[in-house]
Structure 1
Amino acid sequence: MRLRLATIALCCAALASGCSTPGPGQAPDGIWDPNEAANRRVHAFNRSVDERLFRGAGTGLTDAVPEGVMRNVSNFADTASLPQTVLNQVLQGRLGDATRNTLRFTINATLGFGGLADVAGDLGLPRDDSDFGETLHVWGLPEGAYLELPLLGPSTERDAVGMAVDFATNPLRAILSPESRRWTTAARIVDRVGERGQFSDTVDSLLYDSADSYAQLRLIYLQNRRFELGDESAGADAYIDPEALDTEGF
């Protein structure tokens, strides 16, 4: 376990040290995308996968599955993510938030029938997510270049490192059986497909109706992510509501 953690730390340091930052005047609009050509190829692949597998599947899932069942799946996926959230909040020095999420996990995992019901939310403990990308932001690491990852979608160099570390350090992986880990993974996938269906009109408009879906998605992701982190260092001083954007003629 110590060797694995040490290896993760070394990989994280190596990847983090490689995060590029724009020089003066190189990103006047707050977007640093030196790998745009490669990113656009990945975006075209992701869009083709979405069109073939998820464009109708998400809507079909939300139409076919009762709303209560989908809510249970979403609650279970959220509960399974809480130990990782707590770990990151501890690393960020947010001990109060970490304590509340520990209590939220305990309540939902017990009184919530293994996380199927959000009892903690009803008691005044709402969802409060975090990830290692946010931890790196708190530690002062710049976001680096914009990336679009195969199947995973928009990201940055910093957030890509964060996703890899979150996957390797998930506390539940050490205590759950392989079968239980498969169930939690399945719940997260179903939850994501359900979200795709829930926001199908907005996503379809963005991906298939806008003149440049890559640029549109990049703008929305960066603005939204910086707003989540409270990061105004890259010129993002306002949050853009994806549903408020006019995608016609973009």
Structure 2
Amino acid sequence: MLIVAKFYLNRFFKQGVLLGALALTAACATTDNTPDGFDDPYEVTNRKVHNFNRGLDRVLIKPASNAYGVAVPDPVKQGVSNFASNASLPQKFVNNLMQGDIEGAGTNFFRFAANTVFGFAGLLDPASDMGVYQEDTNFGETLAVWGVQEGAYLELPFFGPSTQRDATGKLVDLFTNPLSHQLGDPERYFPPTANVAARFGDRYRYTSTIDSILYDSADSYAQTRLVYLQNSRFELGAPTDDTTDPYEDPYDSLYE
């Protein structure tokens, strides 16, 4: 874990990166959303991007994920998913520290060390067998802890649903995994490649749920927005409207 400490001290806390990202988000995310509401001033553009993403899923992502899910044995898929998850832990560790979550940082530190040393670089998951599970987080959550508001809802090409705060977090997270800065070629490409494969595995695993949102609802855009915002706010501990079913079409009444 020395590479994490080195990166943390020498790279990630360069004030230009952090303050620039914070300033960008603070400038954009100015809307104070209600717990069960949303701010979607870019709906026209968002719907166009959503249609693009939906078409991409139909012609490429879903067929590729089905091929991956059927062709690759389950133990191999699990190993790829384990490796991708383990490779993301140094980044989560840094975000834990920036959030002041020392317990979460310690958990992710121990989990990364145990799985890397005893789990063949994370292909296996002995940490879970010891009852040590990852404390999932990202820079979007770090911004939320710092008091940056959610901002407007966005649908990003390829990445899907987001908000202004989370989009900034995704951008920063692309460049702040210590492994990507410390590993040489071609090893530095192993984690992102495994992450893409793991996402195909997730698409295959949750195909019925995803299909119900994208293809079975009367308004897949509104459905995607509702599910994403509710899940995102729930993960941050924000109150949500418990009477709303995230898989119920919010525009059902328009078609009755």
Q: Establish whether TM, by shorter chain, passes 0.5.
A: yes
The secondary structure found in structure 1 opposite 2:93 is helix
Amino acid at match of 1:138: V
**In structure 2, what is the equivalent of residue 79 of structure 1?**
86
Find the partner of 2:30 among 21, 28, 40: 21
Q: Does the CA-based 8 Å contact 2:46-2:155 persist in structure 1?
A: yes
Find the partner of 1:228 among 235, 242, 245: 235
**In structure 1, what is the equivalent of residue 56 of structure 2?**
49
How far apart, in 2, do the equivalents of 1:218 and 1:195 lie?
A: 19
Q: Does the CA-based 8 Å contact 1:223-1:240 persist in structure 2?
A: no
Moved more, 126-135 or 220-229: 126-135
**In structure 1, what is the equivalent of residue 4 of structure 2?**
none
Calculate percent identity across the aligned residue pairs.
48
How far apart, in 2, do the equivalents of 1:36 and 1:27 lie?
A: 18
Cα drift, residue 11 of structure 1 = 2.3
- Residue 176 in 1 paired to residue 183 in 2? yes
TM-score, length of structure 2 as denominator length: 0.88
How far apart, in 1, do the equivalents of 2:122 and 2:12 lie?
A: 32
**In structure 1, what is the equivalent of residue 162 of structure 2?**
155
TM-score, length of structure 1 as denominator length: 0.90
**In structure 2, what is the equivalent of residue 186 of structure 1?**
193
Cα drift, residue 179 of structure 1 = 1.1
How far apart, in 1, do the equivalents of 2:234 and 2:245 lie?
A: 10
How far apart, in 2, do the equivalents of 1:143 and 1:224 lie?
A: 13
How far apart, in 2, do the equivalents of 1:140 and 1:194 lie?
A: 34
The secondary structure found in structure 2 opposite 1:18 is helix
Partner deviation per Cα, 1:87-138 (whole Å, 9 max, x = no partner): 0001111101101110100000010001100110101101321101111111
- Residue 130 in 1 paired to residue 134 in 2? no
**In structure 1, what is the equivalent of residue 7 of structure 2?**
none
**In structure 1, what is the equivalent of residue 105 of structure 2?**
98
Find the partner of 2:18 among 9, 20, 23: 9
Partner deviation per Cα, 1:174-224 (whole Å, 9 max, x = no partner): 211131121111100000011001111111111111111000000000000
How far apart, in 2, do the equivalents of 1:129 and 1:241 lie?
A: 24
| Unmatched 5+ stretches in structure 1 | none
Cα drift, residue 60 of structure 1 = 2.3
**In structure 2, what is the equivalent of residue 206 of structure 1?**
213
**In structure 1, what is the equivalent of residue 242 of structure 2?**
238
The secondary structure found in structure 2 opposite 1:128 is coil
**In structure 2, what is the equivalent of residue 143 of structure 1?**
150
Aligned length: 243
Question: Cα–Cα, structure 1 residues 239 and 138, in superposed 2: closer, same or farther, change >3 Å?
Answer: farther
The secondary structure found in structure 2 opposite 1:155 is strand
Q: Does the CA-based 8 Å contact 1:86-1:102 persist in structure 2?
A: yes
How far apart, in 2, do the equivalents of 1:99 and 1:3 lie?
A: 18
How far apart, in 2, do the equivalents of 1:238 and 1:21 lie?
A: 26
RMSD: 2.2
Question: Cα–Cα, structure 1 residues 178 and 231, in superposed 2: closer, same or farther, change >3 Å?
Answer: farther
**In structure 2, what is the equivalent of residue 68 of structure 1?**
75
Question: Cα–Cα, structure 1 residues 155 and 6, in superposed 2: closer, same or farther, change >3 Å?
Answer: same
The secondary structure found in structure 1 opposite 2:234 is helix
Cα drift, residue 63 of structure 1 = 1.6
